[in-house]
Every structure is written in C-alpha cells, then in structure tokens.
Structure 1
Amino acid sequence: MPGKDQSRASLPLLGALLPDLIRVGELTIIDARGGRSRFGPGGSGPKVVIRLHDRLLPIRLALDPMLATGEAYMDGSLTVEQGDVRDFLLVATTGLESVHRTRSSWVIPTLLRLGERLTPANGRRRARRNVEHHYDLPPELYDLFLDRDHLYSCAYFRTGSESLEEAQQAKMQHIMAKLLLGPDKRVLDIGCGWGALATTIVEETGASVTGLTLSAEQLASANARAQRRHVADKAQFVLRDYRDEQERYDRIVSVGMLEHVGRHHLDAYFSKVAGLLEEDGVGLIHSIGSAIGASDPRASKDRWMDRYIFPGGYIPALSDVMPAAERAGLWITDVEVLRLHYAETLRCWWERFQARRGEAAALMGERFCRMWEFYLASAETGFRNGRLMVFQLQLSRSREAVPLTRDYIAEAEGRFETPAGRRRVGAA
C-alpha cells in the first residue's frame, strides 16, 4: 500500500488536501493512468474506491471540490467502484469540521465568493424561474422518495426510530404547537409546497389557511389535495410571490422557503412578514441554516447545488437572519436548532430513491439519476459532516404574544398524540 508521500506524488493537489479530510475509513483513488492512492486510517471504517477517468480531473477536484465532483459524477468521469456515491462523500468529509476551523480552508472559498457578487438578485421573475427549475419537475419523481404527504423538508425524529411518515407527522405537530392555533385563526403559509401542512392545520385545528407558491405543479397538487380531503373551503392556494401578499394574518408559517429568498432580500423578507402579521400575531420560520455566517471568510455558495438543483438559493446563518428580523421590529420569541434531523431525513430519501432507481431512470434518464443521487448524498454530507443544520425561529410583533415558558409546546404536542385528542388543540 502506498504511503502518504506516494499518494501525494501521484495526486499532488488532492494528496495535500485529503489526509485532513478523511478521518474515518479509507478512500482509494484510481487515477486515469491506473495508479492507486489510499487515504484515511482504514481500520473498521467504510472502504471506498473511486476511479478518475480524466487526467485533469484531480486538479479540478482540488480547486473547486463540490462543483467538479458533482459534474464528474454526473458525466461519468468519476465512478465509484466500491461502495456508492453516498459512502464516498461521507468518508471524504469526515474531517470537514476540523478543516473548517483552520485558516487554510479560507483561501478557495474566499476566491469563490468574489463571483457571488455578480449573481443576480432574486427578483420576482428570477424567483419564479428558480422555483420552476426544481419544483415543476414531474410529480412522479417526488412520488419515488418522499413520504405519502409529499413533505419536502426536514422531518422531526423525536426518538430516532420513527419511520419517515411518522417523523414528518411529528414535524407538523411540532410546528402547529408553536403556532398556538385555533379555529378563529387566519394563517398564511409562505411556500406551501404540495399543501400538506396547510390542509393538516385545517383538519387538526379548524384554522383557515392561505398557501402561497410559485410552482404551478405544486399549486395544482395542493388544490387537488384540499378537494380530496374536503377542506377546500378553508385551505386555499394561490400562485403568488410573498412580496405581493396584502392581507394581514394571525399566524404566518414558512417551511423550507427562506433558503430561496437570497441574502440580499433578508431585510425585505422579514419586513414583509412583520407587515403581514397582526399585532398579536405569531410567525414560525423553519429553514436550513449554516453555522458559518455571510461575513465569515470561509463562507461560500455550493456552486454545484446552485447550478443544478437550487438556482438562486442561499443558506442563511442565524447571524444573518436574526439581525434582519430585529431590524424589522420583530420579537424573536423562540429559537430551536435541529442538528441531525435533516441528515436522517435525507438518509430516508436516499434509501427510497435507490429502492426505486430503475423507475427514476425510466422517467428522467440515467444522467438525471446520477445528478439526483449526488444531490441527496451531498446534502446529507453537509448535515452530518459539514456546517449545516435546521433552525425554527418563532417571531411576533408583541412580547406578550406567546406564553412565558416553552411548556405549552410539549403540552400541545401531547394533545396531538391520539386521534381523540387532536381536535382539542383547536380549542386550547
């Protein structure tokens, strides 16, 4: 087996980076000439073998790891010969946390950030195009890996042993408990997805909900769901940018939408939320977050994800979001950070997608499948080994809008636990 010096000689740039990145298991890289380089401590950890089919690929991988790795996997110039792409990404990033703490990791992200200044802002037209790119894909694709309610955001694993369906139901219960809902409340759902949360709020609490989306596919599905569940009189969905909403609401909820707002629009977003809330209203913002803020030199956009999956996306840190909420005059009444919940959600999605990969290939083609499995695997890697998490931010215009302690959250969730108790939440 080649030692560290030989590995660095055959892959000069990668050989300098990988020893710090791989702390568990072993990664073997076969280069275009057939040379083998091994990295990592080995032992009982996972053992992954990849092959690089392009002589220049190691340089591209070293200079722009995520973009080059994703594109190489998509076009077949990087193949995984032992394990799969999820194993590869998890092994190759086990030391990412410690690398993030070092100044040497700042150089490339800092250079990449220079290009972000030229990225167009998420105006109304661009925002709609960005949403169409991802959410107007054939609905049959999402059938392959999401839960039965098509909840496309972080689930909530109370014990870690739940099924995906159970964890997604628990997520909705957790959010509804924080919103202090009742049959007299008017709720705005910004970025309503396929309508599961909105219709569940109506069914469980009697509140009325208006859902906003920019996706024509999601709009049609949400309206069909409301009709199917006989709640169309109280769950209504419209194709509308949140910036164009004019009504005021008792409650505002937004799950997985803040990531699409864009860093330059955070102030406008929270000002709009404040303007749409009644004086005693309560809002709940559920979003992917980064533990590295925009002002940190190590912060950079995932260029592969931006190019192929979520164009215009921006993962905010609490240090980005909370000042914007404060400038809007909002009280931050509760903050909760969910760390590994999304990693577990993505693991479930990966397993479901792999179980039906043949159907996905027949529907979308092989290159799309490689892109999609790289997306799911790299996202999980970000939550397991990187600096990603999920936060739930409860907001209000009044300091007295919510109870003095958090006890009410668990109490409300407890009333959701049994079918006989669910309707009582609306009367609480």
Structure 2
Amino acid sequence: MTLSLPTTPPTTRAGVVDVDPERWPDVARLPRASSARTAVARRLVERAFARLPLRMASAADAPRVPRPQDGTEAEPTLTLHDPDAFHRRIGADGLLGFGESYMAGEWDADDLVGVLTVLARHVDDLVPAPLRRLRGAWVRRRPAADRNTPEGARRNIHRHYDLSNELFALFLDPGLTYSAAVFDPLPRAGFPLGDGELATAQHRKIDRLLDLAGAGQGTELLEIGTGWGELAIRAAARGARVRTLTLSEEQLGLARRRIADAGAADRVSVELLDYRAARGRYDAVVSVEMIEAVGAEYWSDYFTALRRLLAPGGRVALQAITMPHERMLATARTHTWISKYVFPGGLIPSPEAITRESAMAGLRITHDIGYGDHYAETLRQWRERFLRQEAAVSALGFDHVFRRMWEFYLAYSEAGFRSGYLDVRQLGLTAATTEGTP
C-alpha cells in the first residue's frame, strides 16, 4: 500500500516548502493568533534560547554564526527562515505549532536531535512558573474522535501502521521490528549499522522478552500487537504455539506471508482482533510497545485483559515506553504534535501508572529493567536510514512535508530518550496472590 496524495496544487511562501493544502491543511495555512500571543511566544522563545545551550539565527545570518575555536562542541543552532510564521504558530498552538512550523520549512537546525534534546531536557523550564497556570487556555484538547474505542482504535492504528509496508522496510531491519533494540555494546556515536547488526540487536531484545515470558517447547503464547511477525517467528522456533493479534490490515497480510516463508504457519496464527475481544488462557502473554497506543482511558481494560488471558502459573512480558508521572499527567488531555500527526489516541504511561493499573487488575511486577539509551540509538539508526532513502520515500508517493514530518518524529523521539524525558522498560508480571494462596 502506498499513500494516495491529493492533486490540489500546493501552496508556497518565500523560504518555505511547498505544502498541499488538502493533505496538510494546518501546515499550509498559518493559524489565527493575536498579536499579543505572538509577542508572548516570541519573548518566551528568546528567553529560552538566552538561558539554554542553544543558538538561534536567521537564514541570512546562519552561515556567519561563529563556531567555537577552543575545541569545545558547538551549541546546536536553530535557523529561522520565516520568523513571523514561526512565532505565530507557537503563539497559537505551542509545541504543536513548533512541529508544524518545521513541517512547513519555516525553520531548520544544524543538529535537529541536539536542539530537541536540549528542549526536552529543559521542558519544565521553558515557560515561567506564573504562566504555566494558564496552560489550559493555551493548549488544545485531544479530539473525541481519537478515543480508543474498539472502532476508534482500529482507525488510529490504520493511520500509522497502514501507511505502507514498503515505507517501514526502508529504515527498519530485515525482520521489520519496530521497537527498541538491545545492543551489546552500544555503537559508537555516528556509527551506522548494517542490516545484520541491527537485526541481531532486535533479536537480542526479542529473546530477552521470550525468556522473561518463559516461552519454550509447548508454550501456549499470546502476542498482543503482531507488528510484522518477527517475535512470533522466533517464539515458534523455540517450540511455542503462538496466537498473535493485530489491528493493522497491512501488517496482517505481510506478517502471514513472512510466517509462512519461515515455515512457521503450522505453529502461528495471526488474527485481526482487538485485545478486548480475545478469549482463552495462555501460558505466556507478550506485548511489545503496544500499551502506548491503548490510551489512559483504557489502561484498566488492557491490564484486565492480560490477567484474564493468563493461565495459572503463566507469565506476562511487556516492553513499554514510559515518561515521568507529572509529565504524563500534563500531557494526558493535550493534543500534542505526536498525537495529531503520528500516534492518534496514544499516551505514554508513567511507571507509576503501570504499577497502579497492573496491581488493580491482579498482576504483580516481578522484573523491571530500563533500556532508554538503547532506544535512543535505535532511533538514530532508523532516522539516518530514513534520511538516506529520500528518493525511495518520494517514489512511494510521500511528499516533502511528509518526509520532514517523519524526520521530526524520529528526531523528536530520539531526543526524548537522550534527554531522559523518556525511557523504555521490559517488565515481567505474574498473577498476584493473596495471603495464604499458593
């Protein structure tokens, strides 16, 4: 499947990329923002850049920004091509507007991840404390249509995972594993990995999860969130019988073909089914970076399903991205750039939320280890691979705005892990027992 783009002629402004107004309506047009809000945004941006290890330059001045002569590392520079539009978008929509401004080509950076890492590290300091109380009047609420009802979850998954199998194949490893790898050791900064090396790191991650789940000969294993089938294939190679669930039609078809090609079709079944509709009892339940797509409103349903589907003595193995609890609460109802353009309906949980929701469902966490620096490296590898495939991405029908959006998404995510704002954790869970119960 490739994306079908509208044929409406694109619009353009001086120094800004061509934008198709049907495909990207909120990027093509500047938002309405009062002069007062725009002025406040400009002041906040200038204040932040004066206090943080960042530099800002106009497009004309950027080549003349002096570089350090003492051997120290240069501070990342954000270059404004359209300062008025940049501040207007931030004045209207805050960080959502910041991302849309990048999509529109109104600013660039000599080190995009570097700029975003500094901002992520200081996200709580960007707005003075007195103004933070006005956050509710500044940010947008999440659209009701993005709720992860059974029908809404299907639409939300379709918007990201059904973009194009060919697109994902351009930057993932040959096994098409779309979650954090585990490296041993972490590659040197700037060192690109070949397909085999990245696949090895992904298999190391999968094998640790399967070990955590106790998957082996004769194990009845349920996977919630198939991806493109690599975990199911490796579980079947251990002798497990696997049932794996997805809401992505694109992933369903390719996963079935990959499983058949691996000779595992007799041991793996792939179904287009919501986790809430699953029935049965399983020795092991595995779910990799799927909880982020569930939505806070349905976390109790998710953990209740895990407990209900677990056979006596069974184990759950989860891989989950997490963020600090206060940041989770601050963004839970906010329509962020990520929720608008990349993962509609999604919310990254905090470790506290996972602990609380799993306990309420009758599950006990027995294993918990983080790999945040490994996800930062995984994302770097994906981003650099994606950028090398510009012509191939274009040939699939994705325009320049999409390519900037995807670059920003990968860089934004990498910065989250490099700054410590995000983490990724592998968790083992078992059914909780009451006192006196074996």
- Verify same fold: TM over 0.5: yes
What are the residue-to-residue correspondences of 1:22-421 with 2, within 5 Å? Answer: 22-23=52-53, 26-30=54-58, 43-53=72-82, 55-61=84-90, 64-76=93-105, 78-80=106-108, 83=110, 87-94=111-118, 96-100=120-124, 104=128, 106-107=132-133, 110-111=136-137, 115-116=141-142, 120-161=146-187, 163-203=197-237, 205-293=238-326, 296-297=329-330, 301=334, 303-363=336-396, 364-385=398-419, 387-397=421-431
Q: Would the aligned equivalents of 1:190 and 1:212 in 2 still touch at CA under 8 Å?
A: yes
Deviations 1:120-162, CA, capped at 9 Å, x for gaps: 5310000000000011112110111000000000111231037
Between Structure 1 and Structure 2, how many residues are aligned?
382
Q: Which range is displaced more, 42-51 or 249-258?
A: 42-51
What is the aligned partner in structure 1 of residue 22 from structure 2? none
Identity of aligned residues (%): 33
Q: Which amino acid counterpart does residue 350 of structure 1 have in structure 2?
A: R
Quote the Cα distance in structure 2 between the aligned partners of 1:397 and 1:9: 52
Superposed CA RMSD: 3.0
- Structure 1 residues 367 and 96 mapped into 2: Cα distance closer, same or farther (>3 Å)? closer
What is the aligned partner in structure 2 of residue 418 from structure 1? none
Quote the Cα distance in structure 1 between the aligned partners of 2:366 and 2:275: 23
Structure 1 residue 285 displacement after superposition: 1.3
**For structure 1, which runs of at least 5 residues remain unmatched after alignment?**
1-7, 401-428
Q: Which amino acid counterpart does residue 152 of structure 2 have in structure 1?
A: R
The secondary structure found in structure 1 opposite 2:57 is: strand
Quote the Cα distance in structure 2 between the aligned partners of 1:253 and 1:134: 21
Q: Would the aligned equivalents of 2:212 and 2:317 in 1 still touch at CA under 8 Å?
A: yes
Q: Would the aligned equivalents of 1:288 and 1:390 in 2 still touch at CA under 8 Å?
A: yes
Q: Which range is displaced more, 350-359 or 62-71?
A: 62-71
Structure 1 residue 259 displacement after superposition: 0.4
Q: Would the aligned equivalents of 1:179 and 1:284 in 2 still touch at CA under 8 Å?
A: yes
Q: Would the aligned equivalents of 1:212 and 1:242 in 2 still touch at CA under 8 Å?
A: yes
Q: Would the aligned equivalents of 2:162 and 2:248 in 1 still touch at CA under 8 Å?
A: yes
Structure 1 residue 57 displacement after superposition: 2.3
The secondary structure found in structure 2 opposite 1:45 is: coil
- Structure 1 residues 298 and 69 mapped into 2: Cα distance closer, same or farther (>3 Å)? closer
Q: Which range is displaced more, 40-49 or 243-252?
A: 40-49
Q: Which range is displaced more, 380-389 or 194-203?
A: 380-389
- Structure 1 residues 73 and 9 mapped into 2: Cα distance closer, same or farther (>3 Å)? closer
The secondary structure found in structure 2 opposite 1:55 is: helix
Deviations 1:202-245, CA, capped at 9 Å, x for gaps: 11x10010010000110001110111011101011000000000
Quote the Cα distance in structure 1 between the aligned partners of 2:169 and 2:204: 20
The secondary structure found in structure 2 opposite 1:192 is: coil
Q: Would the aligned equivalents of 1:19 and 1:40 in 2 still touch at CA under 8 Å?
A: no
Q: Which range is displaced more, 299-308 or 137-146?
A: 299-308
What is the aligned partner in structure 2 of residue 403 from structure 1? none
Q: Which amino acid counterpart does residue 341 of structure 1 have in structure 2?
A: H
Q: Which amino acid counterpart does residue 314 of structure 1 have in structure 2?
A: L
Q: Which amino acid counterpart does residue 368 of structure 1 have in structure 2?
A: F
- Structure 1 residues 235 and 39 mapped into 2: Cα distance closer, same or farther (>3 Å)? farther
Quote the Cα distance in structure 2 between the aligned partners of 1:238 and 1:232: 13
